[in-house]
Amino acid sequence: MLFKSKNKTIKEFFLLSSLFLCFRIISSIFVYKFLSIYDDRVFSFTDLDFYNEGNINIFRSNFFYSLFVRSIGYNSETLLSFKFIFISFLSSFIAITPFIFLCIKILSKRNSIFFIIILSLHPYLALYSLKLDSNIFATLGISFYALWIFYCNKSTFNLSITLNVISALFRNALIPLVWAQFFLISLLKRDFTKIKFLGIFSLFLITIFITYSQFFYGVEYISQNFGCYSYSNIEKFIQQTLSPNLSKILSVIITPLVHILLNLGAREAISIYCLNLPSEYAVNSLLNLFMTFSFLLFHSFLLIRLLIYVFKDFKIRKLTLLFPFSILLPTLYGTAHMRYIYPLLPLLIFAQFLPRDLFILKKNCKKLNI
């Protein structure tokens, strides 16, 4: 049996959760203590000032997140308080709990332990577990999406679509995934009662509202000249050797490829100030380069192995594993760095341990006819 018996107890969940928390506490303390060797600023969250400044309106980026941080008093002055570090740490744990449940249902004990250790010790995830970043909501949405496609039943279906729509109010990067999920729902041709149909239709209307409210910000985001590796700067670089028309065509092709690499390995400062960072952002340039290429290699390895899993012995339903990567679409021409891939890392790591013949959306495969 690929899916284990339902006689799994709370004890297994408690043991895996304890293992995760133990290693995550160790990695978070280590990263926090030694971060100054890497970055003089020690612990920064530059976007937090943006969310605490100016008037809030529905066209503002992640306006519900802005309301949220203002309502709880989370700002640059309270960033390092124990209260908010604890809330951030607890929130980051809650966001990945669906994967712990999936470990019990799908993976062997050995693979579950490997997954938990790798996920908990990842230094970038450990660092962001100390920040109440908007990506916590993206991680929550992707985690429950994974719970739905791997262990499909009424409860996970309702939780997944509801949490994704709510999370998109706080993190606009989830909007493409929510639309992809509605597309999947239409394919599954589920039989809804009148009450459930009204619920899904209400979520659909909320998604239209979110999409409209963030559309103009998205257009501005993609078109802005944000740093070294923007479309316009790549075009200017190519124009040094090639004609303007050919440069435009090549920059349209090259920019997404460069931005994928940035998403896989570059910290935020690199996307703005180039690979060789000034000393205020990188105390040691060799260490900065080493960490950048280490993250790039590791995350590329994870992504390639996922793609092999999807396209080897290909079945259309396996493509649902790639739908969460739709959150990266705006970064292909907008600013791109590793913070955008951070909500996808639990899924990427988990996919490395999946059984080869695992059913995806298993209870609906017959309806999908795939």
Sorting pLDDT into bands at 50, 70 and 90, what band is 44?
Answer: confident
Contact 333, 222 (CB under 8 A): yes
What's residue 195's pLDDT? 56
Contact 267, 337 (CB under 8 A): yes
Would you say the C-alpha torsion 178, 180, 186, 188 has a positive or negative sign? negative
Residue 273's CB is within 10 A of a number of other CB atoms, namely 15
Q: For residues 226 and 307, which has the higher predicted lDDT (pLDDT)? A: 307
pLDDT at 3 over 50: no
CA-to-CA separations, 62 to 57, 69, 85, 96, in angstroms, rounded: 10, 11, 21, 21
Nearest by Cα to 45 from 103, 88, 95: 88
Tell me what the mean pLDDT of segment 196-212 comes to.
87
pLDDT at 1 over 80: no
- What are 95-124's pLDDT values in tens digits? 999 999 999 888 889 999 999 999 999 999
Which residue stretches of the chain are H helix? Answer: 10-34, 47-52, 63-72, 82-106, 109-121, 123-128, 135-150, 154-170, 175-188, 194-223, 231-239, 244-265, 268-273, 285-311, 345-351, 365-368
CA-to-CA separations, 332 to 78, 261, 269, in angstroms, rounded: 33, 10, 17
Read off the amino acid at residue 120.
S
d(CA 14, CA 105): 14
Mean pLDDT, the chain, integer: 86
Structure tokens at 282: 């990188």
Classify 166 as helix, strand or coil.
helix
d(CA 207, CA 179): 8
Sorting pLDDT into bands at 50, 70 and 90, what band is 254?
Answer: very high
Classify 8 as helix, strand or coil.
coil
pLDDT at 340 over 90: yes
What's residue 210's pLDDT? 93
Quick one: 161 exposed, middle or buried, by C-beta within 10 A (0-12, 13-18, 19+)?
buried
Read off the amino acid at residue 148.
W
- What are 274-306's pLDDT values in tens digits? 887 777 777 778 888 888 999 999 999 999 999
d(CA 36, CA 283): 8
What's residue 259's pLDDT? 94
pTM: 0.90
**Sequence ranges of the domains in the chain:** 10-368
pLDDT at 370 over 70: no
What's residue 193's pLDDT? 58
